Amino acid sequence: MIEIRDNGACRVEEVLPLYAAVGWTNYTDRPDMLSTALDASLLTLGAYDGGQLVGLLRAVGDGASILLVQDLLVLPDYQRRGIGTRLMRTAMERFAEVYQFQLMTDDTPRTVAFYRSLGLIPAEELGCRAFVRG
C-alpha cells in the first residue's frame, strides 16, 4: 500500500534516484541546486511503497497568496496507479485557501487531461499568460 508522507526534511540522496528515473537531468546534474531547492520548499510530499520513495511533490510559495507545484514525479513502474493524483489532492487540500494554486507542465494531451481531472484549468482560459526566462 502506498503511503503519502510529509517529507519536510527529505535529503537529496533519497530523491536523486527518483529524478534520475524520470530523466530530469537538470536536477540530477546539479545535486547541490536540488538540495538547496528542497530545503527552501514550502512543501514536499513523498509517496512510499514500504521504505522506497516512489513519488514526490515539491511546492514553493508563501502558502497564502501563491503556491506553485514545482515538481510532481512518480517512478515509471508506479505511474498510472493514482499516486500523482493522491500527491496533488493532498497538496490541494492542505492549501485549499491559497489564492493562486499554479503549476507549469508539458503541453501534451496526457498531462492536460491529468491536471484537468483535478479541476485545474489552463491559464489561457482565464485570460492569463505565463512567461519564463528562456
Its sign, for the CA torsion 107, 109, 97, 1, is: negative
9: pLDDT confidence band, cut at 50, 70 and 90?
Answer: low
* Domain regions of the chain by residue span: 2-104
Say if residue 95's pLDDT is above 70.
Answer: yes
CATH architecture of the region 2-104: 3-Layer(aba) Sandwich (3.40)
Please tell me the distance from the alpha carbon of residue 20 to that of residue 3, in angstroms, as a whole number. Answer: 22
The total of other beta-carbon atoms located within 10 Å of residue 53's CB is 17
Q: What does the pLDDT read at residue 11? A: 86
The predicted-structure confidence for 37-53, as pLDDT tens digits, reads as follows 999 999 999 999 998 99
The cell for 117 is 481531472
Cα 55 to Cα 66, 72, 88, 92, distances in angstroms: 23, 8, 11, 16
Q: What does the pLDDT read at residue 8? A: 72
pTM as predicted? 0.93
Q: What does the pLDDT read at residue 47? A: 96
Q: Which residues contact 16 (CB under 8 A, 6 or more apart)?
A: 27, 28, 31, 34
Q: Which residues contact 50 (CB under 8 A, 6 or more apart)?
A: none
